[in-house]
Chains A and B, each alone.
Chain A
């Protein structure tokens, strides 16, 4: 809350700084009689930047570290018996303290807990007010500093542009930090997981049952973390999806690019875009409540035993989801094949389909392969359809009529709900996430490589 208030105040200050700076620059010109180096607005921007940036930077650092500093202060103030607990217990204790300070009361409140929560709350409100104080003071100090630097010879534009350029560079590193964040967050947890479960057992084990035993003598919760059934399940569903999506997507792309009249194109392309824009949870609902029962009923009439969470239903609907993806990518690639190649082939007497099969498609092949690789990577990472329509039990089978589970389903089931963060079960989700990230990364890089290698071959 205090951060939002501070940001609001700083915005006001910046606006005021801009107007005052600009007015001052104009006034200076009139009084000194010397022309300004930059346009008056730049002096305004200069003042505004000095008002906002230092305070904003402080705010970010403050918010990032406030919690851990407060926590250490609270722990330091705890009575000896409470503070000397094991680190995990202390962490739980601090969680309770935070919750109580936030007004969430769960379980009984011991006097120490109450005292610590009160202390925490006191510190928190103190920190909030001092944040506003420090932020405003910095803003005003920046204003005073910048305001007094305004002089005709001062090169405001150069300073402003340098600052803006630095801001641009900082923004452009955000994507790098995201990647680093992803890699680090899944990597650390995965390393912790692999210290409990060996890598080879995870990669080559055939048994997946992540229920870890609460008691020693418990039955059926051995906690086996062999991910092979998950990989095969993912592969099976992906394969079904591709069997549906590639022919339909590719043929419709060919038809749209080569045969369809313009008005058909204008009608069908937006319709396919709608298909691409439907949220995956809707496909999941469709798969679970329309396609799966229909397939089961069809199986009953044919005398087949179709599981109600069959891989076929999830895979087929996933294929439907991917059709527009393949068709729009392939369409772009087919259209990009130079006209001359087609004309040459047609002039030799080939029919249109012969031209397409023998000339256009070979020329477009790298792009189509890349599109398929991207589609596979999407199918592997797709979550909601399989969460809603595929099974939970890890089944090592290649039969599309049985229920299988996938990597993404397991990540979701392992992490949704309340779990302690340190159990092998939770960490397993991060190991699966790492595997998923690496596989999709490899597919994306391969697609990018194919495209780069064969791009512009005909230009």
Chain B
């Protein structure tokens, strides 16, 4: 190295060069800002998405209840005093609720007003009363204070989604109804409780009764079928292609094929499911078995690609050592390569299953969009799955379903986050660097 002369460097001496450099450094700074703002924009969008859904959905986890004193009137429930549960079961429980509401507001006398008053309590509350009476017939003839689910409109009003200041004709609640609600509220008969029904009920036309359990069970059966079929087929395919297949045109074709299938739009798999499983094999429409088969075909490429990557990551020295000790090719794979590749395979499988859990479009094609109230009891029962339930609820006009939809999205996202966290944990815990 030679000694450098004191003073400014050559490139700093001319004013033009200095200007040029300043410009270059400004460009550098600008470029960096572009990059940073792109990252911030992406994150902001993520925040907006999650934030808007949380804001809309969190209130669905509580439900407004109305506390009423109900007189289990024997004249309505069991006029002849038979004690026969068939007669009691068919009794007019709605009338009980109406009576007890009217007893709270004795000045309501007109027929229309009474009907409007009864609309404050959920249509499903009568079934709750019926259940209570059937369980304990000695209630008949007594006065009891019960807490009944409020109607969707009252629920929305209490949660502040039906503003008071809009004209009465634009509101789902009339001024009179709001007056009654205020009166009930003043006597602290209105309370919000944790909405257990949201997690235990099937779908319903009444927003206050609609729950996601039916869809969760449907998703479970669908994913179970997908996993049971896709995991073995995917792993064996990958083992064959990585460890045994000769390199020829045929295996090349399979490889290109798999890569292509991984990028085929999911709706095409729905068309396949419709044409093959429903039209050709007459499998039941809307059943998790068909959904599972369709999603299996869609998930297979993901699992195959992940498994191949995991198998490739196992160093050849392991194979050579096993071969050297006299293991047959199959023993090498089953006893040595596969156990070492298993964390990677499981990670890929979980990610594939997470994708399948969030998939909607192919399931629309095979008729899993039906309105199904019952919780499915098996993979052959008609059912729906969580994303389709979200799609169906998003279409419903009632304001209360907007909240339900967001809440269902939150539940779905929790499942997805759990699955992905499990995948990340497996990767971190068992990943080996060779």
| Residues of A participating in the B interface, judged by any CB pair closer than 8 Å | 1, 64, 67, 98, 102, 157, 160-161, 164-165, 167-169, 171-176, 178-179, 181-182, 185-186, 188-189, 247-252, 254-256, 258-260, 268, 270-275, 277-286, 288-290, 320, 323-324, 327, 351-354, 356-357, 374, 377-378, 380-384, 387-388, 408, 411-412, 415-416, 421, 429-430, 433, 436-437, 440-441, 444-445, 448
Contacts and interface: CB of A to CB of B under 8 A. Distances in A.
B392 to A, nearest CB: 10
B142 interface: no
B157 to A, nearest CB: 20
Interface stretch (B89-97, B113-121, B297-305): B297-305
A174 B300 contact: yes
Interface of B: 24-25, 27-28, 30-32, 34-39, 41-43, 45-46, 48-49, 52-53, 56, 232-233, 236-237, 239-241, 244-245, 253-254, 256-261, 263-269, 271-272, 274-276, 279, 281-282, 284, 297, 300-301, 304, 328-330, 354-355, 357-361, 364-365, 367, 369, 380, 387-388, 390-391, 394, 402, 405-406, 409, 412-413, 416-417, 420, 424
B353 to A, nearest CB: 12
Contacts of B328: 157, 161
A351 B412 CA distance: 46
Contacts of A281: 358, 360, 387-388, 390-391, 394
A411 B270 CA distance: 10
A419 to B, nearest CB: 11
A182 B272 contact: yes
A149 B117 CA distance: 82
10 tightest Cβ-Cβ pairs between the two chains A and B: A381-B265, A279-B358, A255-B35, A185-B275, A251-B38, A353-B31, A383-B361, A168-B240, A171-B236, A252-B38
B260 A179 contact: yes
Given A281-B360, A436-B268, A323 B42 contact: yes
Contacts of A186: 268, 271-272, 275
Given A67-B281, A178-B300, A252 B267 contact: no
Nearest to A171: B236
Contacts of B267: 381, 383, 408, 411-412, 433, 436
B402 A289 contact: yes
A386 to B, nearest CB: 10
20 contacts: A64-B281, A67-B281, A168-B244, A179-B260, A185-B272, A189-B275, A251-B35, A251-B39, A252-B42, A255-B36, A279-B387, A280-B358, A351-B28, A378-B263, A408-B265, A415-B364, A436-B268, A437-B264, A440-B268, A444-B260
B361 A286 contact: no
A288 B271 contact: no
Contacts of B361: 280, 383-384, 387, 408, 412
B379 to A, nearest CB: 9
Contacts of B56: 289
Contacts of B355: 277
A427 to B, nearest CB: 11
Contacts of A179: 257, 260-261
Contacts of A172: 236-237, 240-241, 245, 254
A286 B25 contact: no
Given A356-B31, A374-B263, A440-B263, A181 B39 contact: no
A323 B39 CA distance: 10
B365 A415 contact: yes
A160 B330 CA distance: 10
Contacts of B406: 285
B268 A175 contact: no
Contacts of B48: 290
Nearest to A350: B24
Contacts of B24: 351, 354
Which of A164, A383, A387 gathers most chain B CB within 10 Å? A383
A442 to B, nearest CB: 11
Contacts of B261: 175, 178-179
A431 B215 CA distance: 32
A161 B394 contact: no
A378 B390 CA distance: 22
Nearest to A327: B42
B253 A176 contact: yes
A255 B394 contact: no
Contacts of A175: 237, 254, 257-258, 261, 300-301, 304
A186 B253 CA distance: 21
Nearest to B267: A383
A102 B276 CA distance: 21
Contacts of B388: 281
A415 B274 contact: yes
A370 to B, nearest CB: 11
B38 A288 contact: no
Nearest to B25: A351
B38 A248 contact: yes
Contacts of B53: 282, 285-286
A250 B380 CA distance: 46
A230 B84 CA distance: 63
Nearest to A267: B43
Given A172-B241, A175-B237, A251-B35, A274 B46 contact: yes
A101 B276 CA distance: 22
A189 B284 CA distance: 21
Contact of A164 (B282, B330, B394): B330
B223 to A, nearest CB: 13
Given A175-B257, A284-B394, A271 B28 contact: no
A408 B266 CA distance: 10
Given A168-B240, A171-B232, 11 more contacts: A157-B328, A182-B272, A251-B38, A281-B391, A290-B48, A352-B32, A354-B24, A354-B27, A383-B265, A411-B267, A436-B267
A299 B266 CA distance: 34
Nearest to A272: B42
B413 A421 contact: no
B279 A421 contact: yes
Given A165-B244, A251-B38, A289-B394, A440 B31 contact: no
Contacts of A411: 267, 271, 365
A388 B365 contact: no
Contacts of A440: 263-265, 268
A284 B38 contact: no
A187 B52 CA distance: 43
